[in-house]
Structure 1
Amino acid sequence: MNDGPAQRDGVVSIEKLRSDIKAGIIDTVTVAIVDMQGRLTGKEIQAEFFLEEIVEHGTEGCNYLLAVDVDMNTVPGYSMSSWETGYGDFVMKPDLKTLRYLPWQPKTAFVLADVVWLDGEDVVVSPRQILKRQLQRLRDRGLVAMCGTELEFIVFNDTYEEAWKKGYRNLEPANLYNVDYSIMGVNRVGPLLREIRLAMTKAGLYVESVKGECNLGQHEIAFRYAEALATCDNHVLYKLGAKEIAASFGKALTFMAKVNQREGSSCHTHLSIRTTDQKMIMADADNPSELSLFGRQFLAGLLSHLEELTLFFAPNINSYKRFVEGSFAPTAIAWGRDNRTCSMRVIGHGASLRVENRVPGGDANPYLAIAAMLAAGMDGLDKEMKLEDPFAGNAYVADIRRVPATMDEALRLWQGSTFVAEAFGGEVKEHYANMARTEITAYSRAVTDWELYRSFERM
């Protein structure tokens, strides 16, 4: 996270869009919001209509988009959206600072939208708005958050349709052995990874590198850090684009946290706090390799609240399958200097000194994960929390606090937390508790392959 440009040119002005629509270069504008699961949902708008109506007024969508499960089923328990309230509309209001072109889609522009009610008030449970409120709290202190998210994914040679029809069994990974840091392993999947890398660059994301990972067919494309909101906006667009590009190659690409018994896919989340005039405050002025008092208090807040905030780091039943000893996913709540067995890893020097949260997986909603980190860190500052000594050695076998091992445990800690309500408000707390209850209920009713293999004949 050295000082440098956070994002390349790629964001388009509304004047440029008008000119390109008139010239026939662009004929479609995708307007999207981020749902609870971190997915992009919205509409494809005819370009002229976007200019004439949507820029100023936004476009409506059913408010159930922030109150459904992964399968888009209407589920009970949400106060903002239900059969009793008639499943009305909210407004997707374009944030023109996110306007860009999608090189992997013909003649298409893309813009993210914030979610507001018909009277213009924020929909407070919207993930993007949840993060923006924490960022405003940070700005009120004269601070900004710089973030990077490292998403791992697994590529399969099957199409998405073939994988579905196979019940996601016996899929063929794009690499048949561990390709961690392997140049040949990356090059074997080179055409796809290159297309994703170049497409994201044209869309304005700043690509750093591509590398192989431990699982079969597993890779990572890393992007340059940016201000927190821009990082999250880029993150969700990248996930969408990578899947769409993979599909065009006849392959399937998944960010699922744990797809098999091997290593899961992480979303290591790097965070550094600066002043609004970009002064570095995380590192100690006299010893740039060490955290400042500010950095120590901020990290102490992260560790103090990690258990009760895990629901924002690990939002699905499958998320918790990553937390296995010796898997490079954390099980212990500790921090260490460049120690990958800890949940919080401090790395870098001086301007690049930062905290890496190793808890989130590839399925994490980045807006919620970073909002949780900021809220916890600010509480550490407010209460002048004392940071424990760094952990040295293998945290997997240490007798210390553990990351919640199941979603049931994470939900219990979330619901029992007074801090969650203080930081995010009661409506957000209950909304995402209901999301977790819905996930747990669906899982408890499912009959899995594991049960069939154990019981079909032998019980």
Structure 2
Amino acid sequence: MTDVHAVPQAGAIGSNGAATAPLTLEALERAVAARTIDTVVLALVDMEGRLVGKRLTARHFLESTVGHGAESCEYLLATDVDMSPQQGYGLAGWNRGFGDFQLKADLSTLRLVPWQTGTAMVLADALKEDGEPVSVSPRQVLRGQLQRLRKRGLDALVGTELEFMIFKSTYREAWESGYRNLVKATAYSVDYALLDTTSIEPLVRRIRIAMEGAGMNVESSKGECNLGQHEINFRYGPAVSACDDHSIYKFGAKEIAAQEGVAVTFMAKFDQREGSSCHVHL
């Protein structure tokens, strides 16, 4: 079995055939020495598909985290959407306490974060104290399903289409309003419209270019039916890497929107109009 925590080989192409290759450990070491990268985001995909974890100094990541991992609380895989610990989980809970697990960097996912200065990112797997994977972590659940497929002589290629809505408010303003009376980025449906999406193209273009720089294979973007609604499409690819990109894209789109003073949501059904789909193609 391939050790996903080993150093990726130089010359590899990016996810799903993207032009930008993954960031090798050697390239990261050179960038740290040149002081062009100073921060590494170590990210775990949680039960809601969000990225949680730590921002590490790049020096500490190279000196310690690559070899030994980083500790993190088990509660990250036992919370609700508001990050409140819940009862009933076998991994952790108020009834049995909250221990730690290890976040071990999957170096095949190491990449630049173009929308943050001097920053790289790597996804992590949650490991128990004995080094065994935490079976309920989303990436491990997906790997288990793929193993079942391969026993039947099958494999899975995945493509996702993620629609989102853009609001002319910051995230803080939206929260303080109770998420009421938010102004959408367009006043009418812009499904497939070109001229009418011009006003939000600077934001969407920045997201497209940033995701390419992060090693993803971006194909296109288009307006959608609901007000302020848009979607960005990516090339299909192996299930784990496609789903990794899916989570990083959502995270990155929200960070970029915040930098631009607006907010985006991938919420499935924001209002009575058309919802934002997550189309999954297998």
* TM-score in same-fold range (> 0.5): yes
Q: Offset of 1:134 from its aligned partner?
A: 1.3
Using the size of structure 2 for normalisation, the TM-score is 0.92
Report matched runs for 1:14-93 at 5 Å. 14-93=25-104
CA-to-partner distance for each residue in 1:124-182, whole Å, 9 max, x for gaps? Answer: 11000000111122233443211100000000011111111111111110000010000
Give the letter aligned to residue 147 of structure 1: V
Q: How many angstroms apart in 2 are the aligned matches of 1:79 and 1:65? A: 13
> Which one has a larger percent helix, Structure 1 or Structure 2?
1
Q: Is the 8 A contact 1:91 1:115 kept in 2?
A: yes
Give the letter aligned to residue 77 of structure 2: L
CA-to-partner distance for each residue in 1:263-314, whole Å, 9 max, x for gaps? Answer: 000011111xxxxxxxxxxxxxxxxxxxxxxxxxxxxxxxxxxxxxxxxxxx
Q: How many angstroms apart in 1 are the aligned matches of 2:150 and 2:35? A: 41
The answer for the alignment partner of 1:113 in structure 2 is 124
Report matched runs for 1:333-344 at 5 Å. none
Q: How many angstroms apart in 1 are the aligned matches of 2:196 and 2:243? A: 29
Q: Is the 8 A contact 1:210 1:221 kept in 2?
A: yes
The answer for the alignment partner of 1:259 in structure 2 is 270
CA-to-partner distance for each residue in 1:402-454, whole Å, 9 max, x for gaps? Answer: xxxxxxxxxxxxxxxxxxxxxxxxxxxxxxxxxxxxxxxxxxxxxxxxxxxxx
CA-to-partner distance for each residue in 1:201-243, whole Å, 9 max, x for gaps? Answer: 1111111111000000000011111111110000000000000
Q: Is the 8 A contact 2:161 2:279 kept in 1?
A: yes
Give the letter aligned to residue 182 of structure 2: L
Task: Say yes or no: does 1:168 pair with 2:179.
Answer: yes
Residues 139, 228 of structure 1: CA spacing in aligned structure 2 closer, same or farther, 3 A cutoff? same
Structure of greater Rg: 1
Give the letter aligned to residue 248 of structure 1: Q
Q: Offset of 1:186 from its aligned partner?
A: 2.1
Q: Is the 8 A contact 2:18 2:212 kept in 1?
A: no
Q: CA RMSD for the aligned pairs?
A: 1.1
The answer for the alignment partner of 1:128 in structure 2 is 139
Report matched runs for 1:207-226 at 5 Å. 207-226=218-237
Bigger RCO (CA 8 Å, 6+ sep): 2
Give the letter aligned to residue 124 of structure 1: S
Q: Offset of 1:184 from its aligned partner?
A: 1.5
Task: Say yes or no: does 1:7 pair with 2:30.
Answer: no
Give the letter aligned to residue 207 of structure 2: I
Q: Offset of 1:8 from its aligned partner?
A: 3.0
Q: Offset of 1:70 from its aligned partner?
A: 1.1
The answer for the alignment partner of 1:394 in structure 2 is none
Report matched runs for 1:273-422 at 5 Å. none
Q: How many angstroms apart in 2 are the aligned matches of 1:250 and 1:138? A: 44
Q: Is the 8 A contact 1:154 1:254 kept in 2?
A: yes
Give the letter aligned to residue 50 of structure 1: F
The answer for the alignment partner of 1:188 in structure 2 is 199
Aligned residues: 267
**SS of corresponding position for 1:45:** strand
**SS of corresponding position for 2:93:** coil
Q: How many angstroms apart in 2 are the aligned matches of 1:224 and 1:110? A: 21
**SS of corresponding position for 1:64:** helix
In structure 1, list runs of 5 or more residues that go unmatched.
Answer: 272-459
Pick the aligned partner of 1:145 from 131, 148, 156.
156
Give the letter aligned to residue 240 of structure 1: F
Q: How many angstroms apart in 1 are the aligned matches of 2:85 and 2:254? A: 26
Q: How many angstroms apart in 1 are the aligned matches of 2:50 and 2:30? A: 30
Q: Is the 8 A contact 1:10 1:101 kept in 2?
A: no
**SS of corresponding position for 2:226:** coil
Q: How many angstroms apart in 1 are the aligned matches of 2:196 and 2:76? A: 39
Task: Say yes or no: does 1:200 pair with 2:225.
Answer: no
